[in-house]
Structure 1
Amino acid sequence: MEIVSVAAVAENGVIGRDGELPWESIPVDKRQYRERVADGPVILGRRTFESMREDLPGRAQVVLSRTERSYNVATARHAADVDAALEVAASLGYPSVYVLGGGEVYELLQPHVDRMALSRVHGSYDGDSHYPEWDADEWELERETPYDRFTLEEWRRIGR
């Protein structure tokens, strides 16, 4: 199973502020993001899951949370740690799983990620959540697509 991290990241690494995006909505980015994750399961933290409850992404949601909860959503499954999240995602039988955040979830899953699809939002923003640092020597930029207000970067981990 391929693990793909998908995130919108400002030039200064910020991905969120108070559980929201710190920049004005970018509809083109939201559309490409939704299309990318639509046919597979997603791994996300509890707060990110709760912020998306009205419009859940992916075919199934693996909610990474230290505290087991009942989500009252047929497609949601709990995972207490990274190993459990990867096991649950693999059991669903899809070729790819998408990591959607928040910051701590990106950090925990980063060592396992095979590919990254990063929407590099133009500008720097104040925020309390950041995309994790990663060693550029371990990654190859496969594609870079410019859009108005962001550039989509598609990365592949070398050797995987």
Structure 2
Amino acid sequence: MENPNPLIISAIVAMSENNVIGKNNQLPWHLPADLQHFKAITTPHTILMGRKTFISIGKPLPNRINIVMTKDHAFRAEGCILVHSIEEARKWAIDHHLKEIFIIGGSTIYQQWMPYLDRIYLTIVHDQFAGDTYFPALNTHEWQEITRETHPADAVNPYAYSFLELTKK
């Protein structure tokens, strides 16, 4: 019998044209439109991040359930749910009747969750950046672009960017 309430697993990520998503545990660009986009998509839902991403943010993101996935059983994150595996995270989400969770990084977490993703909300920053953290390469045979909005650079957003929604084929 098919699950009447399947859990949708989505990733949300901003990356440069050369797949960079971070440098020194920070975004290598400042793009206010992308931060607004991220907030609009993830609020009031559940987000899942790795320990390093949580540390770089410094606190739980407001108006969302924050799950931190870490192998470190001694790690504590006030105001967050802690899980230690994909299986534990999925079980928690299903037990709490969630419809969707958003994977928000970092690189290792995206890599681990890639086989389970149903959807990717992708911001492409139209420039090349130096970085030390990358989003995994997407297999174009596995993903279908559903929507794309392209925006030029402006006085507030110094880089051109595109918002894409991809679903698994």
Asked if TM exceeds 0.5, the reply is yes
The Cα shift of 1:132 comes to 0.7
Q: Is the partner of 1:28 in helix, strand or coil?
A: helix
Question: Are positions 1:105 and 2:109 aligned together?
Answer: yes
The Cα shift of 1:11 comes to 0.2
Of 18, 27, 32, the match for 2:24: 18
Q: Is the partner of 2:141 in helix, strand or coil?
A: helix
Q: Where does residue 41 of structure 1 map in the other structure?
A: 46
Q: Where does residue 70 of structure 1 map in the other structure?
A: 76
C-alpha contact (below 8 Å) 1:46/1:63 kept by paired residues: yes
Query: Against the structure 1 CA distance between its residues 58 and 129, is the aligned structure 2 distance closer, same or farther, given a 3 Å change threshold?
Result: farther
Question: Are positions 1:155 and 2:166 aligned together?
Answer: yes
State the distance in 1 between where 2:137 and 2:9 align: 17
State the distance in 2 between where 1:50 and 1:58 align: 18
Deviations 1:93-119 (A, max 9, x none): 221100000000000000000000100
Q: Where does residue 114 of structure 1 map in the other structure?
A: 118
Query: Against the structure 1 CA distance between its residues 118 and 57, is the aligned structure 2 distance closer, same or farther, given a 3 Å change threshold?
Result: farther
C-alpha contact (below 8 Å) 1:141/1:153 kept by paired residues: yes
Aligned-CA RMSD value:
1.4
- Between Structure 1 and Structure 2, the one with more helix by share is 1
Runs of 4+ in 1 over 3 A off after TM superposition: none
Q: Aligned residues: percent identity?
A: 25
Under a length normalisation based on structure 1, what TM-score does the superposition of the two structures give?
0.91
Where do 5+ consecutive residues of structure 2 fail to align? 1-6, 153-159
Query: Against the structure 1 CA distance between its residues 133 and 57, is the aligned structure 2 distance closer, same or farther, given a 3 Å change threshold?
Result: farther
Q: Where does residue 60 of structure 1 map in the other structure?
A: 65
State the distance in 2 between where 1:91 and 1:46 align: 23
Amino acid at match of 2:8: E
Amino acid at match of 2:22: G
Q: Is the partner of 1:118 in helix, strand or coil?
A: strand
**Computing the radius of gyration over CA atoms, which structure comes out larger, 1 or 2?**
2
Q: Is the partner of 2:122 in helix, strand or coil?
A: strand
Q: Is the partner of 1:63 in helix, strand or coil?
A: strand
Deviations 1:65-94 (A, max 9, x none): 001222122xx1111111112222233322
Deviations 1:120-143 (A, max 9, x none): 001110111000112111111000
Q: Where does residue 6 of structure 1 map in the other structure?
A: 12
Where do 5+ consecutive residues of structure 1 fail to align? none
State the distance in 2 between where 1:97 and 1:120 align: 21
Bigger shift: residues 83-92 or 128-137: 83-92
State the distance in 1 between where 2:38 and 2:63 align: 10
Under a length normalisation based on structure 2, what TM-score does the superposition of the two structures give?
0.87
